[in-house]
A and B are shown apart, each in its own frame.
Chain A
Amino acid sequence: MVIEKKFLKGNPLKDISEYDFPGLRRALSLGQENVIQEISDSMLLGRGGAGFPTGTKWSLALEQAGDKKYFICNADEGEPGTFKDRFLLEERPLKVLEGLMIGAYAVGADEGFIYIRGEYDLPIKIFREILEDARDEGILGKNIFGSDFDFDLTLVRGAGAYVCGDETSLINSIEGKRGISRIKPPYPIQEGLFGNPTVVNNVESLACAAEIINKGAGEFVALGTDNSRGTKLVSLSGDINLPGVYEIEFGCGTLEEIINDLGGGVSYGNKPKFVIPGGLSTAALLPEELNCGYSYEDIEEAGSSLGSGAIIVVGESRDLVEILLKVSRFYMDETCGTCFPCREGNKQINFMLNQHKNKKFTRQEVEIIKDIGDAIAAAARCGLGQTSLSLIESIFDKFPEELIEEVRHSEKVRNR
């Protein structure tokens, strides 16, 4: 029986007068290197989807020369099925702020931005008030808590582009440019916002960092599996009885258990047709593949990815083509339009799928879709493009009978 493990979750924490920022105070007394050491010791992996070690990112940023550095909180949560950052922004915003300030202090940044998804009205309202109060209380400003740490934070409201969740696009957006990805290298750590070294961290990563400094790395590192430490906020959605945000310890159970024990089972039919384990950019898993443990390594071994922690359950009586069309439409609309494979590839795939509402695909059509998928995965300019066909390709792989025409006899003969 999987149950929640509350490391990040807790009572609502929004009123600045009720919180003393013990983690930030501790960080200021530890010193920059020690803070980063503690984050490295915790083995925290970035929670935005790519899973890059947070301690490594911070220590690389600290090493960067230059007097001006920026620290950005990526709250442009847009991966379909993902709503765990919203939970933190609405329920535990002061922990997010604390993590952000700890990070900024650790890497030597004196200016920061929190870039919140445009549709997130409530989090934007909450953060507006928090920033105002924090400035009034001297929590933002000069010589914070009597230290020599100066920091100010600006709220930026996103304008609705999914691609701005990609850190380089997000940086362009803050600069007032088109939300399109930048060529890496240089990485933001080297040359980010306005050409200065810049750290971009996901909301959940920062909340984790705040709790790690509050409670010590030991408590965090003791949770989870060898390669996936701590807890993860999971967004459960789709054809499920109890959708919502759940905090679970890595390795505490299988995907199937999470869906049944926490999510209350499947709501559209008796069993899932398939499950998307990490947001729309990850490959589908069949019911028989769901007995894999919930950790980065186990889901990877099952052929998919933990991604942003969004588990989307698709009930057995759903129409596959309808799902394919919706997924493809999403990526077609949300490509930034800069690199050819992502822009033209997603457009072509949507075009081809649209022509097939009520009939099966020929082998040749599936081959074209696979070729385009492979080209995008291998050659697109940013993560959005590279993963945009993961789900669609996996659905074709896993449901050939349902989607692909039988090979006709004459073709079989010819192929010999």
Chain B
Amino acid sequence: MKRLEIDNIEVEVEPGTTLLEAARKINVNIPTLCYEEELSIFGGCRLCVVEVNGGELLKPACATEADDGMIVKTHSPRVREVRQTLFELIIASHDISCELNCLTCTRQSSCELRVVAEDIGISRMRLNPIYRGLEKDFSSHSIVREPNKCITCDRCIRKCEEIQGIGIFANSARGPETEVTTFQDKGMGNVECTNCGQCIISCPTGALHEVYHSEGVWDALYDENKHVVVQTAPAVRVAIAEPFGAEPGTVATGQLVSALKRLGFDGVFDTNFTADLTIMEEGTEVVKRVTENDNLPVLTSCSPGWIKFIEHFYPDYLKNLSTAKSPQQMFGALAKTYYAEQAGVDPEDIVVVSIMPCTAKKFESRRPEMNGDVDFVLTTREAGMMIKSAGINICDLPEENYDNLMGVSSGAGDIFAASGGVMEAALRSAYYLITGEELEDIDIKPVRGLTGLKKAEVPINEDLTLKVGVAHGLSNARKMMELIKEGEEFHFVEFMACPGGCIGGGGQPIRADMTSEDALQKRLEGVYSIDSSKKMRRSHENPMIQKLYDEFLGKPGSHKAHKLLHTEYTARGLN
């Protein structure tokens, strides 16, 4: 153990503990900007500098290990003075202007710079920004980069490389011109970006944000000739109240429906309905392929970040992907056929809007093979902003129900929001599809939780034990693919691009006030509480799904189902 003194308080820590961690242990908050708990140490912003043993040179608390006998001052007059100056320099490099300012910024209410300013106690701002004149990157369907706002803390670089295992970002140019960019400055749309949006979550300044679809949605809502329907993804309901001050994991399903009706949507539906449908289609496919030993393991296909990942990095395994479209796209396809027919609306007049925890869904909706079935994709954040700007506080609203036709769902649809959820939902129904009997112990715990790689064996009958795997976060996805490549046998493997699954999606509210793990844990609890409180917890029990098959699709895997609900993939390889 190492014994030292921080701000006149004796503290004892394990060897290897940094001064930042040691200070947190005694509830001293040292401001940081380039530091993120789950990423490697960068030591660039220098805001965490502290006095050690009265030395002239201040030490970065994030990169300095505690040692015996150290006398550390985290907020001495000198440290506070230096921090103020450093912060002035950071703000000057952030390029606040008429064009780029706090009021129009995507991070207006979750700005980390503002939090840090408060932590430091900023009392002066004397430097003018030096305009860098860098061009915005609009090359991606999902993500926009505004390099003039970037302070080069490199968190996006490290997030993409260390957590997602991709590395589309790098520093380029020298010295004062140092910037973050993509390979050869090609733009995010022209490199191996999976559109997962985890970089947005890590960015402290709003230099990265989603491609906004909200203006298009407003226009559609205002257009009297359009019939605008909306679907809400499973992970949105446990996060949508956050921009209104609620804790992560607060379940606001009914309030969300209510808010969307007030916004003027003509039909408010649930992506959980098509999640149940996905289970019917994908489950049927899994059962068939397992029985026929056809290109096993079957890999799930609902996370569009994962899909782009496999298209780039493991194109040889595209044949293993389930051909089932994602729930978002199944909804889009049905909205313009089944719903149009039932509601008696011309499909040409229907505008389909999705609210997703995801930035990659924007790209997915623009894939040519999806025929433009989904017109606009809003992230949870954008939906929150729209609702706010309509004068609505979601927390104050009464609960309302989804419209019936595509608004009824089972608990299996709900748990799609969390890593392991698709797997659990599929197993609940696969068991029935194979054995004709219901699975009794419906909570399949080994596939739940935030462990990166999960494996389970589920006995189905005497002849068959299903071997399943679950990976979330693309580094883990890569690990899982390597296991498969090395010959480890699975029947069915679930992949989610984002850590934690959709609850940790790149389109979810950004918390400047808690670690991402805390937010994930709370949203996770919210998701499973919805499932466990439902009577109907298996997709195949959903009466509206049965009605859909009876009246429109025939049976799972039918020709019509294939035409509308299944898709193909593109071998992209490396650029």
Taking Cβ atoms with an 8 Å cutoff, the residues of A that contact B are 161, 178, 183, 185, 332-341, 343-348, 351, 364, 368, 371-372, 374-375, 377-381, 386
**Residue picked from B41, B44, B63, B178, most chain A C-beta under 10 Å:** B44
**Across the interface, which residues of A come within 8 angstroms of B397, CB to CB?**
none
Instruction: Give the shortest distance, in Å, between B127 (CB) and chain A (any CB).
Output: 6
**Across the interface, which residues of B come within 8 angstroms of A339, CB to CB?**
43-46
**Across the interface, which residues of A come within 8 angstroms of B63, CB to CB?**
183
Instruction: Give the shortest distance, in Å, between A406 (CB) and chain B (any CB).
Output: 21
Instruction: Give the shortest distance, in Å, between A410 (CB) and chain B (any CB).
Output: 21
Q: 19 A-B Cβ contacts within 8 A?
A: A183-B60, A335-B176, A337-B173, A338-B44, A339-B44, A340-B45, A340-B89, A340-B152, A344-B89, A351-B130, A372-B89, A374-B82, A375-B81, A375-B82, A375-B89, A378-B57, A378-B78, A381-B43, A381-B46
Give the complex CA separation of A329 and B46 in angstroms.
Answer: 23
Give the complex CA separation of A128 and B174 in angstroms.
Answer: 29
Instruction: Give the shortest distance, in Å, between B57 (CB) and chain A (any CB).
Output: 6
**Across the interface, which residues of B come within 8 angstroms of A386, CB to CB?**
57
B49 at the interface (CB under 8 A from A): yes
Across the interface, do A338 and B49 meet the contact criterion of CB distance under 8 Å? no
**Across the interface, which residues of B come within 8 angstroms of A368, CB to CB?**
126-127
Across the interface, do B49 and A379 meet the contact criterion of CB distance under 8 Å? yes
Q: State how many residues of chain B have any CB contact under 8 Å with chain A.
A: 33
CB-CB under 8 A for A340 and B44, given A161-B174, A378-B49, A386-B57: yes
Across the interface, do A341 and B178 meet the contact criterion of CB distance under 8 Å? no
**Across the interface, which residues of B come within 8 angstroms of A348, CB to CB?**
89, 92, 127, 130
CB-CB under 8 A for A340 and B81, given A335-B176, A347-B130, A348-B92: no
Taking Cβ atoms with an 8 Å cutoff, the residues of B that contact A are 41, 43-46, 49, 56-58, 60, 63, 65, 78, 81-82, 85-86, 89-90, 92-93, 126-127, 130, 151-152, 171, 173-178
Chain A residue with Cβ nearest B128: A351
Interface contact tally, CB-CB below 8 A = 98
Across the interface, do B86 and A375 meet the contact criterion of CB distance under 8 Å? yes
Give the complex CA separation of A183 and B86 in angstroms.
Answer: 19
Across the interface, do A336 and B175 meet the contact criterion of CB distance under 8 Å? yes
Across the interface, do A378 and B93 meet the contact criterion of CB distance under 8 Å? no
Instruction: Give the shortest distance, in Å, between A175 (CB) and chain B (any CB).
Output: 15
Across the interface, do A372 and B175 meet the contact criterion of CB distance under 8 Å? no
User: Which listed residue (B78, B127, B176) contacts A346, Cβ 8 A?
Assistant: B176
Across the interface, do B176 and A343 meet the contact criterion of CB distance under 8 Å? yes
The 8 closest A-B CB pairs, nearest first, are: A337-B178, A344-B89, A375-B85, A379-B46, A378-B58, A379-B49, A183-B43, A347-B176
User: Which listed residue (B65, B93, B173) contacts A344, Cβ 8 A?
Assistant: B93
Instruction: Give the shortest distance, in Å, between B408 (CB) and chain A (any CB).
Output: 53
**Across the interface, which residues of B come within 8 angstroms of A377, CB to CB?**
56-57
Across the interface, do B86 and A379 meet the contact criterion of CB distance under 8 Å? yes
**Across the interface, which residues of B come within 8 angstroms of A345, CB to CB?**
89
**Across the interface, which residues of A come within 8 angstroms of B86, CB to CB?**
340-341, 375, 379
Give the complex CA separation of A334 and B43 in angstroms.
Answer: 19
**Across the interface, which residues of B come within 8 angstroms of A375, CB to CB?**
81-82, 85-86, 89
**Across the interface, which residues of A come within 8 angstroms of B43, CB to CB?**
183, 339, 381
Chain B residue with Cβ nearest A368: B126
Instruction: Give the shortest distance, in Å, between A159 (CB) and chain B (any CB).
Output: 10
**Across the interface, which residues of B come within 8 angstroms of A333, CB to CB?**
174-176
Across the interface, do B90 and A344 meet the contact criterion of CB distance under 8 Å? yes
Across the interface, do B176 and A340 meet the contact criterion of CB distance under 8 Å? no
**Across the interface, which residues of B come within 8 angstroms of A161, CB to CB?**
174
Give the complex CA separation of A129 and B442 in angstroms.
Answer: 77
Chain B residue with Cβ nearest A380: B46
Instruction: Give the shortest distance, in Å, between B75 (CB) and chain A (any CB).
Output: 14
**Across the interface, which residues of A come within 8 angstroms of B152, CB to CB?**
337, 340, 343
Across the interface, do A340 and B127 meet the contact criterion of CB distance under 8 Å? no
Instruction: Give the shortest distance, in Å, between A329 (CB) and chain B (any CB).
Output: 10
User: Which listed residue (B82, B92, B173, B174) contacts A379, Cβ 8 A?
Assistant: B82
Across the interface, do A344 and B92 meet the contact criterion of CB distance under 8 Å? yes
